[in-house]
């Protein structure tokens, strides 16, 4: 319904007045927030009006009270689940703000379940250079992302972990606003990012939530202070809603692990569950697992033991099978490969995460629009990370795709992504975990 057409009932506010209030730096009242979110969901507030309001929020911000009310209004636009109700163990969820090679959910969910907490991991798909957990899991033959609420609850009780798509009725206002922000240059607003993430996480009804807020070139937040602001805002929203919430700020200047791409990352995750895998993936998985277990009140369990003795792998296999997947099936492989070589002898001191993510996206691992298909086998495989010695002509990366005409654009993305310094040089590699907020 257009904004200038009469609605079936009188509206208590005019969208233009709400826009002006925020445009002029004022704080919206609870009643204004409740109305504008509901009216936008009902299509009484037009797209161009919500675009103007989102831009006003981007430029002028929101108070803590406004952001909390905005989040509550988005939750109220749909159903509210209680996935912790009736379970024999406490629940803990994790959310990552997205990065390159960020396959942490895959080993983390079964690991935490193997240690005694239930993990209701409602996940999403990739857009642009950041990969989506559901896209990765769908590389497993037979695996399905869509489950009913009853199926989720049964799997949480029987297996302890579930990775699935959020239902259409969970914060539907956020789905509309997210798509709008993406095309109006308002994605970067901290209150809108925080309310988008937290409305869905609070609505699912978990007991505890651990946030992995990425920082660096491959992350949404490029600098530590902005990332800390986002983390503090989300932790406050969770705490105010009665969800035990903590955030880790983690480095995303270099890709996580040695792969970026759907089936490639599943393979690497299984290596971690088998007791191997890249050190950074293992370390971050364990750090987040310890935070989740502590937030859920599970004491006296070291998740490193559950990786070493195979318990986490057992839960992974049961989790995949419960959703129709074959945990022993051969994963898809791309039909074509292309090798990127080291330009000189020396030490690899920089490998830009954003460039690798864009290359994987251009190879077919990601999508430009939500409806675009992805290639399960496409992506980038890394053969060296910062700190490794390399020789000129040595393979640095292998590019994977079914469509070799994509190689040229992927290589363009990687131009300037690598720095090789003389032997004996030390790379300036940040710590994996940069800070902690809340708890």
Out of 51, 77, 84, 196, pick the active-site residue.
196
Residue 128 to residue 366: CA distance in whole angstroms: 6
Q: Which two tokens stand for residue 320?
A: 């995949």
Q: What's the token pair of residue 293?
A: 């277990």
Asked if residue 114 lies in contact with residue 142, where contact means CB atoms within 8 angstroms, the answer is: no
Q: Is 146 a catalytic residue?
A: no
Helix (H) or strand (E) holding 35: helix 30-41
CA-closest candidate to residue 333, choices 106, 84, 141, 49? 141
The SS3 of residue 7 is coil
Nearest to 93 by CA among 179, 249, 228, 206: 206
CA distance 186 to 142: 37
d(CA 253, CA 415): 16
Catalytic residue among 181, 244, 362, 400: 181
User: 391 catalytic, yes or no?
Assistant: no
- Annotated catalytic residue: which of 22, 69, 95, 176? 95
Q: Which of 174, 207, 280, 352 is catalytic?
A: 174
385 flagged as catalytic: no
10 Å Cβ neighbour count for 152? Answer: 19
Active-site residue flag, 102? no
Catalytic residue among 69, 94, 136, 200, which?
200
Residue 336 near residue 379 (C-beta atoms within 8 A): no
Could you confirm whether 196 is annotated as catalytic?
A: yes
As annotated, the active-site residues are 95, 174, 181, 196, 200
């Amino acid at each position: 319904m257009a904004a200038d057409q009469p609605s079936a009932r009188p509206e208590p506010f005019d969208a233009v007045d709400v826009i002006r209030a925020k445009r002029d730096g004022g704080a919206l009242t609870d009643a204004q927030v409740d109305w504008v979110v509901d009216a936008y969901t009902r299509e009484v507030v037009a797209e161009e009006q919500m675009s103007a309001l989102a831009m006003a929020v981007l430029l002028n911000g929101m108070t803590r009270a406004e952001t909390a009310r905005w989040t509550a209004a988005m939750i109220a636009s749909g159903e509210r689940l209680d996935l912790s109700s009736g379970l024999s163990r406490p629940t803990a969820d994790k959310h990552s703000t997205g990065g390159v090679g960020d396959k942490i959910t895959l080993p983390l969910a079964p690991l935490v379940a193997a240690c005694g907490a239930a993990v209701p991991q409602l996940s999403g798909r990739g857009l642009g250079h950041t990969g989506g957990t559901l896209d990765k899991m769908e590389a497993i033959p037979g695996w399905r992302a869509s489950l009913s609420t009853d199926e989720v609850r049964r799997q949480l009780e029987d297996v302890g972990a579930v990775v699935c798509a959020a239902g259409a009725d969970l914060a539907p206002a956020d789905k509309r606003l997210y798509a709008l922000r993406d095309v109006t240059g308002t994605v970067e607003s901290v209150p809108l990012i925080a309310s988008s993430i937290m409305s869905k996480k609070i609505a699912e009804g978990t007991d505890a939530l651990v946030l992995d807020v990425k920082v660096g070139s491959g992350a949404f937040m490029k600098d530590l202070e902005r990332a800390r602001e986002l983390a503090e805002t989300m932790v406050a929203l969770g705490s105010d809603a009665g969800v035990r919430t903590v955030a880790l700020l983690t480095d995303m200047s270099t890709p996580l692990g040695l792969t970026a791409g759907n089936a490639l990352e599943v393979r690497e995750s299984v290596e971690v569950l088998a007791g191997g895998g890249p050190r950074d993936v293992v370390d971050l998985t364990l750090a987040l697992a310890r935070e989740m277990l502590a937030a859920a009140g599970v004491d006296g369990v070291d998740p490193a033991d559950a990786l070493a003795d195979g318990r986490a792998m057992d839960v992974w296999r049961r989790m995949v099978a419960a959703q129709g997947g074959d945990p022993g099936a051969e994963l898809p492989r791309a039909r074509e490969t292309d090798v990127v070589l080291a330009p000189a002898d020396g030490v690899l001191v920089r490998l830009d995460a954003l460039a690798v993510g864009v290359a994987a996206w251009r190879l077919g691992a990601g999508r430009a629009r939500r409806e675009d298909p992805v290639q399960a086998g496409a992506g980038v495989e890394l053969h060296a990370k910062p700190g490794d010695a390399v020789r000129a002509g040595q393979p640095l990366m292998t590019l994977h795709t079914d469509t070799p005409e994509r190689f040229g654009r992927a290589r363009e993305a990687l131009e300037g992504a690598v720095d090789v310094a003389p032997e004996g040089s030390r790379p300036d590699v940040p710590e994996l975990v940069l800070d902690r907020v809340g708890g």
